[in-house]
Structure 1
Amino acid sequence: MPDTLDDLTHALVDAARKAGAGAADAIAMRGQSVIVDMRGGTLEQAERAEGVDIGLRVLVGRRQANVSASDTRPETIAALAERAVAMAREAPEDPFAGLADATQLSVRRDAAGLDLCDPGPAPAPDALMRMAEEAEAAALGVAGVAQVQSASAAWSRREMHIAASNGFSGGYARSDTSLSCVAIAGTGTGMERDHDADSRVFAADLRDPSEIGRRAGERAAERTGARRPRTGAYPVIFDERVAGTLIGHLLSAANGAAVARGSSWLRDRIGTPVLPDTLDLREDPHRVRVSGSRLFDAEGLPTAPRAIVEGGVLCGYTLDLASARKLGMTPTGNAARGVSGVPSPATWNVALTQGEQSRADLLREMGTGLLVTSLIGATINPNTGDYSRGAAGFWVEGGGISHPVNECTIAGSLPEMLRRITPANDARLHLSRVVPSLLVEGLTLAGA
């Protein structure tokens, strides 16, 4: 077996070329993880995982195929390459498939300066157990909390390397430490559930476990006695916890693969307003200690900060090589892939312009309406942007929270909703998607 991920990816590419591929790229990932779940003060589950996964994409002319495995023996690599080439020869031609030209490749081929991996040792399971126990105890200490469904602590470290026959070779490591707590308040059919969680690249940056548990308990207790709101047209505030989903729908519509398929309401919309003219939506893949950061994408292209929306106007799409070729545009360095699939467009770190008002200010401005803290399911028409989602949260009267609500549906037109958003100033800056609470006027609310 090759000694390093670098060696492994090059062995895959070499095997593909020997098997008859005109071009090839390979990805290898090595991961370690530990996760513990506590319930009722006892250990519910403990898992430790470790392994290597490999993926190989081969091109025979304009035909391509992708194969993957977790067996890295030389004979497996050779067989994998032969199978991939045989599959590619039977695949339909794709005029847009192909590797990057050498002139397009990133000269930065690691993660230097981004602090994506905590150098500390893997935590002992006992340490993770203590974190989860502390979160659970804090949640149970909140008045009204009946039980904790789960308190989970986890750690992972992943190494990745990509190599291709065009000369690219690069890789880096990432780490993640996370803690979550799910609390249940109330009894019988009046039970309500809510949670809190945190996840950081560096364990030292993680919020205190007792704070996470207490907040999960408070959120669950606040939702007891929920009832359905009245039906009508009302303003809605998407709490910061769920506001990122609205921007996520915009990003999905600006995905080059969707645009190239013709299944996006943003097709042919570059240069037109999609947000209020005071707002920008920017991507920065070079933020330090943020999980979405990287210096090169899955096709070896350099990443760079860019404006997706500026002054409310759509500036461009999110493009990998294939979607850029289909649309006759320049790739944006946004290719992502795993071991089992070919590259596809994805965004890295994005941030929406924050407002000057707090969420409390937006509640007072709204007067009467719905504060959404939880969303359930989704019906989004990708061609028109018609929007409908189940929701729960709090009814607002006179600018203040009146009572919890559940079992309701909010609906509207995404293009119109996004043009009417008013942001608060409460976004969490350490997240990969930095989006504050958002006030949206005039949505249809289906309740009682």
Structure 2
Amino acid sequence: MPDSNTDSLSILSDLIAQAKKAGADAADAVLVEGDSLSHGQRLGKLEKIERAEGKDLGLRVFVGQRSATVSSTDFKKDALREAVERAIAMAKLAPEDKYAGIADSSQLAKSWPEIDMLDPAEPTPEQLAERAGAMEEAALAVAGVSNSEGAEASWGRATVSLVTSAGFAGRYARSSQGVSVSVIAARDGEMETDYDYTSAVYAADLEDPALVGRRAGERTVRKLGPRKAKTAQVPILFEPRMARSLIGHLLGAITGPSVARGTSFLKDRLGQRIFAPGIAIIDDPHRTRGMRSKPFDGEGLANGRTEIIQDGVLTTWLLDLASARQLGLTSTGHAGRGTGGPPSPTSSNTHLAAGTMTPQQLMADIEQGFYVTEMMGHGANMVTGDYSRGAAGYWIEKGEIAYPVSEITIAGNLKDMFLDLTPADDLVFKGSTDAPTVRIDGMTVAGS
């Protein structure tokens, strides 16, 4: 495995030189090197301990407006030569795509920031076992918890190198680690299950596993004895880990390919208000210790903080070079890249900015409402915005959590939901997409 910046970039540079010599008009190549370690246990007994190391290379070549991508995990000279030959042959048979192509030299990033996103310390298997054990033990200690579905602690490190025939060569590395547990509570012949987790780039930023474990146990026990809810139109609160899915639907609707194909319910809304005044949604690939931080995008373009929603107004699409050309626009530096195919636009670290009220204050005036802690299914139509998902959580009465409810459906339309959304002040950065608790009025709860 390449063990230095020079090694990985040299491999890619040599590969591109071979592709150009073999007849490619342009080419780019990406090398992903990864290491991971995970520990899994159940009821204190080891179920797995796994370590993986690997590297994967992807080469994209262009012959005129025709292109092809090949990938390889074999870095022998003969294997790479065959990969180049195969890519050129495939490209000559591919259909022409007038929007495809690498960035020219004037578009490429000439410098990029150093981002704190790599914990240099690799945990030992014993440290992972200690984290998982502390989390599971704390969850099982909660009164009412009867069993465990298991606890897992993991660590990973990925290094990404990118070289293009237009003169770009860059590399970055980042780490991630997390601990999670899922437990079961039982009462009167009924069982409920729930989970909790903590994740971060640095081990020092993980929450105390025992605290998270206790929270998982308490969440599970609170779900016992659920009731049915009657069909009604009521205010709905989404807890943070449910609210972030709403931001995911927004991101899916504003990617360049969806807009260019006309398959997005927001395809005509650029520059228009789609959230209430004051709402901000930010994508920031340069966030310190961000779970998906990166110093440049997957095509070698500069990237940076983008306020996707500014004062409730949609300010931009998420574009790579191909979708930008198709829309007659400029790339926004949101290209993501794997080794098995061409780039495509993607977000990085995205969050809904916190509001000014606590979740309790958001709930205070609700006579009858629903607090969502779990959702099932994928009932969002990205063409129309229609939204319908199975859900469970807690019924709200007179501004307070009253009792657990399950087996209901929540429905609305994302266009209306976005406009009616109010964020609370409890934003915590835990993943690549984050949101505080949010309240949405006027949705339908379909129950008994």
> Same fold, TM exceeding 0.5?
yes
C-alpha separation between the residues in 2 aligned to 1:272 and 1:263? Answer: 18
Equivalent residue runs for 1:50-129 within 5 Å = 50-109=53-112, 112=114, 114-120=115-121, 122-129=122-129
What's the counterpart of residue 203 of structure 1?
203
Q: Secondary structure at the match of 1:318?
A: coil
- For residues 318-341 of structure 1, the C-alpha deviation after alignment (integer angstroms, 9 at most, x for no partner) is 100000000001110000011111
Work out whether 1:443 is the aligned partner of 2:443.
Answer: yes
What's the counterpart of residue 9 of structure 1?
12
1:219 alignment partner AA: R
Q: Is the 8 A contact 1:158 1:174 kept in 2?
A: yes
Work out whether 1:31 is the aligned partner of 2:34.
Answer: yes
Q: Is the 8 A contact 2:172 2:295 kept in 1?
A: no
Q: Is the 8 A contact 2:241 2:434 kept in 1?
A: no
C-alpha separation between the residues in 2 aligned to 1:407 and 1:224? Answer: 13
Shifted more, 65-74 versus 158-167: the winner is 65-74
Gaps of 5+ in 2: none
What's the counterpart of residue 275 of structure 2?
275
2:446 alignment partner AA: A
The 3 A distance-change label for structure 1 pair 37 and 177 is same
C-alpha separation between the residues in 1 aligned to 2:311 and 2:91? Answer: 45
2:116 alignment partner AA: D
Q: Give the structure-1-normalised TM-score.
A: 0.97
C-alpha separation between the residues in 2 aligned to 1:431 and 1:401? Answer: 27
- For residues 322-371 of structure 1, the C-alpha deviation after alignment (integer angstroms, 9 at most, x for no partner) is 00000001110000011111100011122323211111111213231110
Per-residue deviation, 1:430: 5.2
Q: Is the 8 A contact 1:63 1:93 kept in 2?
A: yes
Per-residue deviation, 1:206: 0.8
What's the counterpart of residue 43 of structure 1?
46
C-alpha separation between the residues in 1 aligned to 2:2 and 2:399? Answer: 64
Per-residue deviation, 1:266: 1.0
Identity %: 45
* RMSD of equivalent CA atoms: 1.4
2:279 alignment partner AA: L
Across the two proteins, how many residue pairs are aligned to each other?
A: 445
C-alpha separation between the residues in 2 aligned to 1:235 and 1:348? Answer: 31
Per-residue deviation, 1:188: 7.9
2:233 alignment partner AA: A
Gaps of 5+ in 1: none
C-alpha separation between the residues in 2 aligned to 1:342 and 1:180? Answer: 33
Q: Secondary structure at the match of 2:134?
A: helix
Q: Is the 8 A contact 1:5 1:160 kept in 2?
A: no
Q: Secondary structure at the match of 2:15?
A: helix
Q: Is the 8 A contact 1:5 1:29 kept in 2?
A: no
What's the counterpart of residue 255 of structure 1?
255
What's the counterpart of residue 148 of structure 1?
148
What's the counterpart of residue 139 of structure 1?
139
Shifted more, 377-386 versus 187-196: the winner is 187-196
Per-residue deviation, 1:242: 0.9
What's the counterpart of residue 407 of structure 1?
407
Q: Secondary structure at the match of 2:106?
A: helix
Q: Secondary structure at the match of 1:351?
A: strand
C-alpha separation between the residues in 1 aligned to 2:303 and 2:25? Answer: 26
- For residues 217-251 of structure 1, the C-alpha deviation after alignment (integer angstroms, 9 at most, x for no partner) is 11111111113221121111011111011111111
C-alpha separation between the residues in 2 aligned to 1:117 and 1:40? Answer: 32
Per-residue deviation, 1:34: 0.5
After TM superposition, the runs of 4+ consecutive aligned structure 1 residues lying more than 6 A away are: none
2:143 alignment partner AA: A
What's the counterpart of residue 352 of structure 1?
352
